[in-house]
Chain A
Amino acid sequence: MKSFVVARDLLREAASRRWFLALGLGITLMLVVMGLSLRMDVVDGALAATRLFGKSMNTQIRAADVALRPAFVASSYLIFYGGLLFGVVACADFGPSLLAPGRIEHLLSLPVRRFELVVGTFLGVLALALLGALYGAGGLVLIFGVKTGVFSGRLIVSALLASVTFSAIYGAMLTVAIAARSAALSAASGGALVLLGIVAGERERIAEFFDSGISRTIFRGLTLFLPRVSSLARSAGEIAGSEPVDPAALTSMLLGLVVFGLAALSLGIHLFERKDF
């Protein structure tokens, strides 16, 4: 499928961008620094002492997996919200770049269907998000695993959840980019969607603050179609922290999120199909 070629080119292009070089370098540096400077003293599965740069970090002796939970939860939230914000800013230009004069005409002159270009760009960003999340979360899991003997894939699952969330938001960003051909507008729409999604994730609780009636109905109606960003972040944190999650609710939310991304992509393709360049 030609979309994979487009996605592959996007990844290659991303690899040369400063944003992503900085991200890759930052994650690598963080992992190397942690790997070299973090000392963890584990006795029969209990984390007896943790030293970062020689300075004692923990004052408790607990089972290593329990002791690591706060670190995993914090990492999960960092990856989720940090990844979303980074992705919104760093990926906003991919859409407009695809539509750049001199490039889009050339691409459209090739035997490629228009939707394949949109889908390819989306898949490229999805792959980028997955790779970034896997690299960061996988690196952390590996470092903590080697140092404590506790290898838990939960942080990786949590990071994958963050990637899927970002991909759905990027679907909407790409659609805005197609409509407006503007990286700034694309980023602004992504940022707005993250913020609104945080509100939507708490819609049941926030709805209680509205008077029952028209205002509450309007609020519920408006937030009904938004991805539940804060709910997903919480679920990601719960997964990372080995806390129980409601699998049915999470599955439904996740499926809804994927379908939201596809819906946004469909609108983007519709606009792209009708557009002259």
Chain B
Amino acid sequence: MLAIEARGLRKTYGGGWPRGAGREALAGLDLSVDEGAAFGLIGLNGAGKTTFIKSLLGVVRPSAGVVRVLGKDPEDPTARAQVGYLPERLFLPHAFTPVQFLASVARLKGLPRADDEVRRQIGRVGLSGEEGRRIGGFSKGMRQRLGLAAALLGGPMLLVLDEPTDGVDPLGRAEIRRILAEERARGATLFLNSHLLSETERVCDRIGILSGGRLLREGPIETLCGSETRYRVRLAPPFDSAALAALGFRAGDGEGAFVVDAPDPTALNDLLDQARRTGARLVGLTHDVRDLEDVLAEALGQGREQGHA
């Protein structure tokens, strides 16, 4: 079953008489996320990520197309009852204590007698001992943790997290990753939107790249970032660069770094044997895996080219 399904999703802000055409935030987005997956949506500012997330929650009504959450219309409160959401800039009532705030969220989620659950989630996000303090005195990181606790209340089957580690210290981020891993292990689907691509890379197993309201690329992270037939080779000097180039070794970044393509391990070993025969000595060998930044830049570059074409 799909946790998230969007078909031909369009959203245009403003527009209509007398304001003209308006601004198109989503331009026919198609996306499917399986239940239990951890999906990361990345893109530049204004790509339409937040609009898409809001469409998932019924906060924004699509101009056209279909969106389904856990098989239901997001307008249906029973669908949203299964969703935990952490907004990018969560407004927390300053006068409330964490317990009061979470108790209120629990009541709105329709959770009966949620005291234990509230305290459990407070402990889980590392806010034990802060139950009696007013939220107004909390740091940004503490607020983010509290927001996460609110999203986790009631064990939702879909967690939609917009910049979940924003303002959280490195150790806190590790804690949040651990919690998200626990949630995934429980069977929940994660839908993550973060500017911290490394975080997305660590948490998600599928990535979608959004630009101009369209999904440019989407797939498993290995597929988008890695290459099965390209390797990074590190050789100790001295080596004959010309001979290596003749074998297909291209110079990489740094002294002794080369990149070589081999369709299979046998071909790779043959190439390495031939290189050794020219006097080169192998000191390092890895798959050539790009980071998400490169993938994003590449995708956006291609997207622009397609746009120009």
Residues of A within 8 A of B (CB): 2, 5-6, 8-9, 12-13, 15-17, 100-113, 274, 276-277
Contacts of B54 in A (CB 8 A): 105, 276-277
Question: B60, B91, B95, B108: which contacts A2 (Cβ < 8 A)?
Answer: B108
Asked if B231 is at the interface (CB within 8 A of a chain A CB), the reply is: no
Q: Closest A-chain residue to B79, C-beta based?
A: A111
- In the complex with contacts A13-B95, A16-B95, A111-B110 CB distance below 8 A: yes
**Contact (Cβ within 8 A) A108 B57:** yes
Question: Given A105-B59, A106-B150, A109-B80, list of 5 further CB < 8 A pairs?
Answer: A2-B107, A5-B108, A108-B58, A109-B83, A276-B13
Question: A15, A103, A110, A277: which contacts B109 (Cβ < 8 A)?
Answer: A110
Q: Closest A-chain residue to B136, C-beta based?
A: A16
Interface pairs A-B: 7 shortest CB-CB = A16-B95, A102-B91, A103-B91, A109-B85, A111-B77, A111-B81, A102-B89
Contacts of A100 in B (CB 8 A): 91
Contacts of A108 in B (CB 8 A): 57-59
**Contact (Cβ within 8 A) B80 A110:** yes
Task: Report the bound CA distance from A106 to B95 in whole Å.
Answer: 18
Asked if B123 is at the interface (CB within 8 A of a chain A CB), the reply is: no
CB distance from B65 to the nearest CB of A (A): 15
**Contact (Cβ within 8 A) B96 A12:** yes
Task: Report the bound CA distance from A146 to B11 in whole Å.
Answer: 65
- In the complex with contacts A13-B93, A102-B90, A105-B54, A111-B78 CB distance below 8 A: yes
Asked if B87 is at the interface (CB within 8 A of a chain A CB), the reply is: yes
**Contact (Cβ within 8 A) A101 B91:** yes
Q: Closest B-chain residue to A101, C-beta based?
A: B89
**Contact (Cβ within 8 A) B89 A110:** no
Task: Report the bound CA distance from A55 to B108 in whole Å.
Answer: 55
CB distance from B62 to the nearest CB of A (A): 10
**Contact (Cβ within 8 A) A277 B83:** no
Contacts of A110 in B (CB 8 A): 80, 105, 108-109
**Contact (Cβ within 8 A) B87 A105:** yes
**Contact (Cβ within 8 A) B81 A5:** no
Asked if B94 is at the interface (CB within 8 A of a chain A CB), the reply is: yes
Contacts of A274 in B (CB 8 A): 61
**Contact (Cβ within 8 A) A5 B91:** no
Contacts of B105 in A (CB 8 A): 110
**Contact (Cβ within 8 A) A109 B91:** no
- In the complex with contacts A105-B54, A276-B61, A111-B93 CB distance below 8 A: no
CB distance from A248 to the nearest CB of B (A): 42
Asked if B241 is at the interface (CB within 8 A of a chain A CB), the reply is: no
Task: Report the bound CA distance from A276 to B75 in whole Å.
Answer: 13
Question: B59, B93, B147: which contacts A9 (Cβ < 8 A)?
Answer: B93
Task: Report the bound CA distance from A100 to B93 in whole Å.
Answer: 11
Between-chain CB contacts (< 8 Å), 17 pairs: A12-B95, A17-B95, A102-B87, A105-B54, A105-B85, A106-B147, A106-B150, A107-B108, A108-B57, A108-B58, A108-B59, A109-B160, A110-B109, A111-B109, A274-B61, A276-B59, A277-B59
Question: B57, B94, B95, B104: which contacts A15 (Cβ < 8 A)?
Answer: B95
Contacts of A101 in B (CB 8 A): 89, 91
Q: Closest A-chain residue to B50, C-beta based?
A: A105
Question: B60, B94, B104, B108: which contacts A111 (Cβ < 8 A)?
Answer: B108
CB distance from B45 to the nearest CB of A (A): 16
**Contact (Cβ within 8 A) B108 A113:** no
Q: Closest B-chain residue to A103, C-beta based?
A: B91
Task: Report the bound CA distance from A6 to B100 in whole Å.
Answer: 13
